[in-house]
Structure 1
Amino acid sequence: MRLVQVVVPDEHCEDIVSALRERELGVSTTKETSGEDDRTLVSFVVPADAVEQVLDELYDIGFSDEWYIVSLETEFASYQGVDEVQDRWAKTPNRVAPRTLRSKAKDMRRNTRSYLWLMTLSTVIATAGLLIGSPAVVVGSMVLAPIVSPMLTASIGLVRDDQRMVLDSLRMQGIGLGLAVVGATAFSWLLKVGLAVPAELAVGNVELIAIRFSPSILSVVVGLAAGAAGSFSLATKGQVTIVGVMVAAALIPTAAAAGIGFAWGRPAIGVGSVVLLTMTIVAVNLGAYLTFKYMGYEPDTVDRGVFTTDGLRRTATLAATVLVVVAVVGAVGVGTYQQVTYERSVNAATTEVLQRAAYDDLGVVSVTAEYVGVGPLFEPSTVTVTLSRTSDRPYRQLPNELARAIDERTGERVTVQVRYQDYQQSNVSTVDTRRRPNTVLGVEA
């Protein structure tokens, strides 16, 4: 429930109160006198889902943005018919008023110092979690990260045509995630030179890192879904804090993986993670924006003074920012397309080889392709194929056969690593399936 208070000039008070009582809302009035203008404080309790529609109806009868208005979250309300009002509005689509949406998003924002410190600390925790192979520590870093607010405010600014909000959000995203990558690089380097972690650690073979150094279609899908979930939760009664963990899950460990790659002198891991990070940022923002548009949020129909000096300056700044973002997204998009195409060819070549009769006993667990990149810097690429088997047969020629097949399909030099996961399987034909008598404490029943 929401307690809405409006200071109304007396000439409009009767119309406003009548409209609210027709809705069977709990209404009270308090006479106020301020200077020469007689005004009345109108208070009414309304379900959160009904705030937007009730305000729209008040605008139709003379409500003005210049009046004082505040909406407060209310623990409970008691007046005649309150249960019927709540039940009626509970069946309507959940969507908060645009003002409430904007206010909720801004309330989530931290001051700059707090934001940067939490981004740095969450990245340090994520880096440590990746290096020690602890998913629990990585999850802890996601809970700490404050990245969800600037992600959502950018989408709100776009859908509400608030240029300043968009620019502030993009700036906070860039600074926060840039600091995360730099911080992860510095922390990883300190761990390496201090021998807290073996300097010769094969970081590309660490499972939690290996899944984060190349972009894929699934990573884009995760970003879109995370952004959509965040915007939907913000615009309804959802738990934005929980969704914030999901958004951070798509970003913070990836930034940490990039720093680890740079610190260990593995540019393919570092650049691949940065590409994945950038694509995920774009996907989260796009998913949030499309969800807000789907829910019907639009700009206010007011004159925003675009042709004033300040308006032209904001427009020019926004246009320049958009050009930079488009250029970065375009470059990253090319790299992502190249990587996705490469991974599809790797998967096809791996499937072709493993379909041979000599490898009937093997099953594919995963195929990980290191980021290919552009030019000689990232060659040769490393492909890690994890297979399941029921015996310890070595299959010595398999890595070379896979490398040749991948070379033929992609035209790229490649180094193939093959891992095995051994397991034992029962033979049903040798199991005694005859029904045995039931016994209790060794005595036949």
Structure 2
Amino acid sequence: MRLVQVVVPDERRDAIVSALREQELGVSTTKETSGEDDRTLISFVVPADAVEHVLEELRDVGFSDEWYIVSIETEFASYEGVDEVQNRWAKTPNRVAPRTLRSKAKDMRRNTRSYLWLMTLSTVIATAGLLIGSPAIVVGSMVLAPIVSPMLTASVGLVRDDQRMVFDSIRMQGVGLGLAVVGATAFSWLLKSVLAVPMELAVANVELIAIRFSPSLLSVVVGLAAGAAGSFSLATKGQVTIVGVMVAAALIPTAAAAGIGFAWGRPAVGVGSTVLLTMTIVAVNLGAFLTFKYLGYEPDTVDRGVFAVSGVRQTAALAATVIVVVAVVGAVGVGTYQQVTFERSVNAATTDVLQRDAYDELGVVSVTAEYVGIGPLFEPSTVTVTLSRTSERPYEQLPGALARAIDERTGERVTVAVRYRDYDRATAPTPQTPQPQPNTVLGFGP
């Protein structure tokens, strides 16, 4: 429920109160005198979904957006007919008013100092969690990170044509994630320098890192769905599931993986993770924006007239930001397409090889393709194939067969690593059905 308060001129009071009573809402009025104008404070309780509709109805009787208006979240309300009002609006589309949406979005944003500190600390935690191999620590870093808030506010600003909100949110995203990558690189280099972690650590083989330096189509899907979930939650009367969106998008661990790759001199890991990070950011923003559009949010004269960026410098800064964003998105799009195409070819080649009779007993657990990149810096790529088997039978020819098949399909030189997970299989014997015993006839002599 929402408690909405508006200050109206006395000449409009009766018409507005009558319109509210027709909606069967709880209404109260308080006389105010301010300066030379006589005004009245009208308070009414309304379901969250009904705020926008009720204000639209009031415009027909002279309501003006220029009046003092405030909407306050209400724990409970008691007046005659309140249950009927709530039940009626519970069946309507679950959507808050545009101004409520903008207010909720702005309330999520932290001040710059706390935002940067939380980004730094969450990055340190994520980096340590990846190197230790602790999923719990990695999840904790996601919960602490505040990066989802500027993503959602950027989408709100874009759909409502609030240029200042868009500009500030994009800047916060770029600064925050840039700080995360640089901080993870510095922290990883420090750990390596003091031998807290082995200098020869094969970071590309660490399981929690290996899944974060290869962009894929599923990563795009996850980013789109996470952004859609966050925006849908923000646009409804429920609680905003920021933590859930943050965990789903997994941005901070990916930034930490990029820093670890750079610190250990593995450009494929560093660049691949950076591409995945940027691609996920774009997907989350896009998913949120499309969801807001689907829910029917559009710009209005208030957002354009009051909140638009003005001034030559600010307009130039916004234009430069747009150019940079388009260039980054374009580059990431090319890299992602290249990687997705490569992975599809790898999966097809792996399937062709394992369908041969000699490998009938093997099952595919996972196929991981290292980021291909552009140019000789990232060659040869490494493809890791994890298989399950039920015996210790060696398959000495399999890595070579996979490498040749992948080379033929992709045109890339690859190094193939094959891992096995051995399983023992047993089947309980079928219980034997007891056979019927023949009748025994006893005979006695005379």
Q: Fold-level match, TM-score > 0.5?
A: yes
Q: Is the 8 A contact 2:227 2:285 kept in 1?
A: yes
Q: Secondary structure at the match of 1:32?
A: strand
Asked whether 1:132 is paired with 2:127, we answer no
Task: Give identity over the alignment, percent.
Answer: 87
Give the distance between the partners of 1:305 and 1:294, measured in 2 at CA. Answer: 24
Measured after TM superposition, the shift of residue 315 of structure 1 is: 4.1
C-alpha contact 2:160 2:303 (8 A) present in aligned 1: no
Q: Is the 8 A contact 1:142 1:245 kept in 2?
A: no
Matches within 5 A, 1:375-394: 375-394=375-394
Query: What CA deviation, in whole Å up to 9, does each residue of 1:352-400 have, x standing for no partner?
Result: 1111111111111000000010001001101100000001112112111
Aligned residue in 1 for 2:143: 143
Q: How does 1:30-429 map to 2 (within 5 A)?
A: 30-246=30-246, 249-301=249-301, 304=304, 310=310, 313-427=313-427
Deviations 1:6-25 (A, max 9, x none): 11110111111111110010
| 2:148 and 2:242 in contact (8 A); partners too | no
Which residue identity does 1:186 align to in structure 2? A
CA contact (8 A) 2:126 2:141 kept: yes
Q: Secondary structure at the match of 1:240?
A: coil
| 2:440 aligned partner | none
2:431 maps to which residue? 433
CA RMSD of the aligned region, Å? 1.8
Q: Secondary structure at 1:70's aligned position in 2?
A: strand
> Residue 26 of structure 2 contacts residue 79 of structure 2 at CA under 8 Å; is this kept in 1?
yes
Show the counterpart of 2:438. Answer: none
Partner Cα distance (1:276, 1:162) in 2: 28
Shift of 1:248: 6.3
Q: CA deviation at 1:193?
A: 1.2
Distance 2:371 2:409 in 1: 17
Q: CA 1:433 to 1:62, structure 2 compared with 1: closer, same or farther past 3 Å?
A: farther
Distance 1:382 1:12 in 2: 73
Which runs of structure 1 show a deviation greater than 2 angstroms over 4 or more consecutive aligned residues? 241-250, 301-306, 308-320, 432-436
Q: Which one-letter code corresponds to 2:27 in the other structure?
A: V
Q: What is the CA–CA distance in structure 2 between the aligned matches of 1:35 and 1:84, rounded to whole Å?
A: 40
SS in structure 1 at match of 2:385: strand
Alpha-carbon deviations, 1:202-256, whole Å to 9, x = none? 1111111111101100000000000000000000133323555446643111111
Structure 2, gaps ≥5 residues long = 435-446
- Name the CA distance, whole Å, in 2 between partners of 1:123 and 1:248: 17
| Alpha-carbon shift at residue 309 of structure 1 (Å) | 9.6
> Can you list the C-alpha shifts for 1:34-81, whole angstroms capped at 9, x where unaligned?
110000000001111111101111122211122111111111111111
Higher Cα radius of gyration: 2
Task: Indicate if the aligned counterparts of 2:366 and 2:386 stay in contact, CA closer than 8 A.
Answer: yes
Q: Which amino acid aligns with 1:123?
A: T
Alpha-carbon distance, 1:302 to partner: 5.1
Asked if structure 2 preserves the Cα contact closer than 8 Å seen for 1:226 and 1:243, the reply is no
174 and 348 in structure 1: CA distance in 2 versus 1, 3 angstrom threshold: same
Count residues with an aligned counterpart: 433
User: Any idea what SS the aligned residue of 1:368 has?
Assistant: strand
Which segment is superposed worse, 39-48 or 321-330?
A: 321-330
